[in-house]
Structure 1
């Protein structure tokens, strides 16, 4: 491609390149040439900066695509509204799209598929709703499906992102909890979903058994399939209400309450299900100012069940919104 350029001594090349770039004068998609002791830097037009300028033929430069933003074609005025992150579950990208970008959502979907050729589906997340807190999903690009296989720590999970909730962002937290399970423990996971906590514990630790249950029959269908596919023989999959299941299986050594928007509602039953000494992992979506009040409430609930809170560890799992965090509370509960 023919373009204007400036001929720059090699020692001054980077300084001049930055000068041109910062003023929008650098022809970024063309490759800089090197000859003898100078560089030939392509420019968008003839520039007068005290250096020789002429027209030459240039090769296209290779520009690595670091984000779908590099390939998308939308007006500059709405570009700042583009999502900066999204979930990748198997070969499906799931993202929230602001209302202001609604008319460009097809272009967003196509750009994501062009950016990452391993992805086959792009789906818009319209928020979590319903009794089982399932994402409202709409496919906007790629294959018309919502099922996939997600791999986490070498384990494979069949998932339907439109019918059973799954978050790939919690893999590190799942491993953190799994590593705390001691040999011979009986673990209850009453909000098991498709099984990422339960199967990880069953395969990577040495529990006596893991009772994994969920009230969503579709999630349990996938849970059973994933238990079989991963040969997680120590996992006992069940369908049922969390309170009822906890009442049936007591006593247990550890309970995982991974339902952050309402897990505290189930803490009394979790504490009541524990052996004389046991652990509970309970989660919440909280403002920073709410952590102290939640800690006080946990103490009250434990004592209300006639038990003693021997230790409490509080940690942020991840940022949930500009003012909220997904917070983990690790309880060690003993006799009163």
Structure 2
């Protein structure tokens, strides 16, 4: 069987990537070899995936023991407790943020929410289970959550690619599903860059970049709670000399400080297009913008970028579907160089 051999200190982050891309073979047991971990794979990762995981990975052929049978998913934990038709309505995916789990439970399964919460508590082995009760809304990007199982704690510390990120899931926006995208962007950074994260939240992009490069990052957000946690995370990860957190409207901040950046991150897919003029104004010639938008296709966001940059020229460096937003709509990521 195909195996992926990596240093054990990378195991947790790589396991998440493999699971997100359906590459981890769940029927075989993970092996340990001194300071290394070997994951069983369903297929060989493509070159882009290998580069994303890192140069320290090695693809090998090896034998694995079969995984012991038992509950393998949230739905497995609910078998015998809820009828099969109802179980089929439950979404199998959920967000794990530190010790907190956030579920999506349809309104017609309201009567089962405590039972589903208890199953999630056992399956994930985390401390607190919440249910989403609204979409992300408002300029400060928060959603309403209902506590349904475990301890009623919403502040936690999430670990991602060697970074520790403290946050309160009730008061700030954070998606663990963007870990791969954050690493992709961080890996593209060069030493000496001046970087602006226009919608930094609790600073996951800035912290990861600063942990791995000699740069200066301006982490801007309008949410006071996000700014508070960004300050804590910068200190927690010892990057105070590389990341400057700023509370305020990004337009006013960039105008008042007259910052010119080598790279700008615009991860506000619902409304980032409203700030493209500001990004273009503050990107250096030859600088890169990482732009995100919810869209059915690449054409619309690319057209917005070209229109906002005119008469400056742009070069599309990369375009990708980061993750599914809803049927037919994607969280698109587009990297452009502005001349």
Larger relative strand fraction: 1
> Pick from 93, 98, 106: which aligns with 2:101?
93
- 2:132 aligned partner: 125
Does residue 316 of structure 1 match 2:321?
Answer: yes
Q: Is the 8 A contact 2:320 2:333 kept in 1?
A: yes
> Pick from 185, 208, 211: which aligns with 2:218?
211
Where do 1:125-144 residues align within 5 Å?
125-126=132-133, 127-144=135-152
For the residues of structure 1 that align with 2:251 and 2:296, how far apart are their CA atoms? 27
Does residue 301 of structure 1 match 2:308?
Answer: yes
Deviations 1:236-257 (A, max 9, x none): 0110111112222421111100
> Pick from 194, 205, 217: which aligns with 2:202?
194
Deviations 1:52-97 (A, max 9, x none): xxxxxxxxxx741101212222233311101110000001110111
Does residue 331 of structure 1 match 2:336?
Answer: yes
Does residue 67 of structure 1 match 2:73?
Answer: yes
Does residue 254 of structure 1 match 2:226?
Answer: no
User: What secondary structure is seen at the aligned counterpart in 1 of 2:136?
Assistant: strand
Q: Is the 8 A contact 2:316 2:334 kept in 1?
A: no
Unaligned runs of at least 5 residues, structure 1: 1-61
- 1:223 aligned partner: 230
User: What secondary structure is seen at the aligned counterpart in 1 of 2:143?
Assistant: strand
Q: Is the 8 A contact 1:281 1:331 kept in 2?
A: yes
For the residues of structure 2 that align with 1:218 and 1:238, how far apart are their CA atoms? 12
For the residues of structure 1 that align with 2:100 and 2:248, how far apart are their CA atoms? 29
| Structure 1 stretch displaced more, 71-80 or 230-239 | 71-80
Deviation at 1:312, TM superposition (A): 4.2
Please list every run of at least 4 consecutive aligned residues from structure 1 whose deviation after the TM superposition is greater than 3 angstroms.
Answer: none
> Pick from 76, 95, 106: which aligns with 2:114?
106
Structure 1 218/271 Cα, relative in aligned 2: closer, same or farther at 3 Å? same
For the residues of structure 1 that align with 2:258 and 2:112, how far apart are their CA atoms? 51
TM-score (norm 1): 0.77
For the residues of structure 2 that align with 1:125 and 1:213, how far apart are their CA atoms? 26
Q: Is the 8 A contact 2:74 2:92 kept in 1?
A: no
User: What secondary structure is seen at the aligned counterpart in 2 of 1:310?
Assistant: strand
For the residues of structure 2 that align with 1:333 and 1:217, how far apart are their CA atoms? 31
For the residues of structure 1 that align with 2:177 and 2:304, how far apart are their CA atoms? 27
Q: Is the 8 A contact 1:191 1:258 kept in 2?
A: yes
Does residue 161 of structure 1 match 2:131?
Answer: no
For the residues of structure 2 that align with 1:114 and 1:173, how far apart are their CA atoms? 29
User: What secondary structure is seen at the aligned counterpart in 2 of 1:81?
Assistant: coil
- 1:39 aligned partner: none
Does residue 115 of structure 1 match 2:120?
Answer: no
For the residues of structure 1 that align with 2:326 and 2:210, how far apart are their CA atoms? 32
Deviation at 1:298, TM superposition (A): 1.3
User: What secondary structure is seen at the aligned counterpart in 2 of 1:307?
Assistant: coil
Q: Is the 8 A contact 1:311 1:333 kept in 2?
A: no
TM-score (norm 2): 0.76
Aligned residues: 267
- 2:30 aligned partner: none
Deviation at 1:116, TM superposition (A): 2.5
User: What secondary structure is seen at the aligned counterpart in 1 of 2:326?
Assistant: coil
